[in-house]
A and B are shown apart, each in its own frame.
Chain A
């Protein structure tokens, strides 16, 4: 199927909004993505015609709602090529999915003397839960450093992994855009006897994902970054690992039986889904998966590759030595998430001037403070592109940036 960005844009009503009479230039999709009518309509339709509790009531409406809720799970499983549908666990968000792994698998498997390997480009969600458990259990955290062009420095990887029990890393950096060699990293983890945990928040929305080709053990990502609704994250894990893990949250739905003396757990996936789930959001995510599948993830990646090349070239051509773009200059090694510094103008001030032109970027530390310290700054401007961005968005970014430069020139 051919890819037509104008057709795609027409699917996203917010992109037609005018703010103060000017069009919206949305370049913050690494933060959260906009929503197509297909998702909005699916959720609205479900609420208007089919909403009911799932997995607990016997009437027709509830049975149909359960079918739709579980149908969305099957769509997600197919989207990432998960071997089994019940290996897909709904969570509140990707952060909770990572916390679930650390609390459940980590508590059962990590103690003093053990080691976990992370990288210098992780989001706080893949750092802080490990630090919290490390403070209780006394295991050590080792860090994979970065090269000067923002790639993982794998020269000492086997030493770092030696004796480690887990290697948890991002498939794509939310700051640098770096796409990591996920399959290679999973293989290295397994060779050392460690499990491989992949934070795929920035990867699943932007490129084809195959958890079996990666040979990962756990993969986490969020609905809201892949044109689905907020309030829903996904954990995929190998059945054998999930089965062996203790439950995470306790409550309704996750039990098989409860007596005064104790409880027994439900089967997967319910074991990890305590309480009423984000049912409407799951329906929305199912629609998001259908939408992205119809467009084709190869097409999404190809479009974003083109946008990356155009954005990198345009920024460099127009601003030369005034701009410092972090991360790799090779679009084949990165996604369309571009962090930069512009002269000595503070990112927050740049984003303020850009906002006057409705150019929406993120300014700040992007929840990756260890990486920011490595870059030697406490904030960057980040422009991130998705399937609905166009070359004219790149022009709008450059024009607004040039205005910011004029404004802050002495």
Chain B
């Protein structure tokens, strides 16, 4: 049986206790909202896309250590990156969470950084939804921004 240390890696608890890019952005920033109906977790993603770049991102809402740390790491990973790279990272992260969306195998050559720590979540299937919530919410925000 996987132990707690497989799930709650130090870096995850660090992001949970000191979340990055926490807050909100006023319009014209776009906003999207994700819910985990199972446990009531809520995530808000505020996003400004400028010239095809994720210019700024803020995270709101409340939830467990996995959903909050995943959101924090995600915000740090995509901020300042081209939208296409952000989308590719969403695809890669969900693939790492064993969520098959079809399409091409993600390019795994670039290092994942802090996000690597969330790999252990796969051993706790109930928690995959927690880890993926913010990424789905980001995908929605990117769609809104592209409209």
Contacts and interface: CB of A to CB of B under 8 A. Distances in A.
The judgment on whether A and B are partners is: yes
Interface of A: 20, 346-349, 352-353, 356, 363-365, 369, 372, 378-379, 407-408, 410
7 tightest Cβ-Cβ pairs between the two chains A and B = A348-B64, A365-B40, A378-B40, A346-B64, A364-B39, A379-B40, A20-B1
A369 B41 CA distance: 11
Nearest to A353: B4
A352 B124 contact: yes
A369 B68 CA distance: 20
Contact of A369 (B1, B13, B38, B40): B40
Interface string B27-58: 00000000000111110000000000000000
A233 to B, nearest CB: 22
Contacts of B38: 364
A407 B41 contact: no
B21 to A, nearest CB: 19
A378 B60 CA distance: 14
17 contacts: A346-B65, A346-B68, A347-B64, A348-B39, A348-B63, A348-B65, A348-B130, A352-B124, A352-B127, A364-B38, A369-B40, A372-B40, A378-B41, A379-B39, A379-B40, A408-B13, A408-B65
A111 B1 CA distance: 56
A352 B39 contact: no
A356 B4 contact: yes
A258 B66 CA distance: 57
Interface residues of B, number: 21
Contacts of B68: 346
Contacts of A407: 4, 8
B41 A348 contact: yes
A363 B126 CA distance: 12
A205 B40 CA distance: 27
B39 A363 contact: yes
A397 B139 CA distance: 39
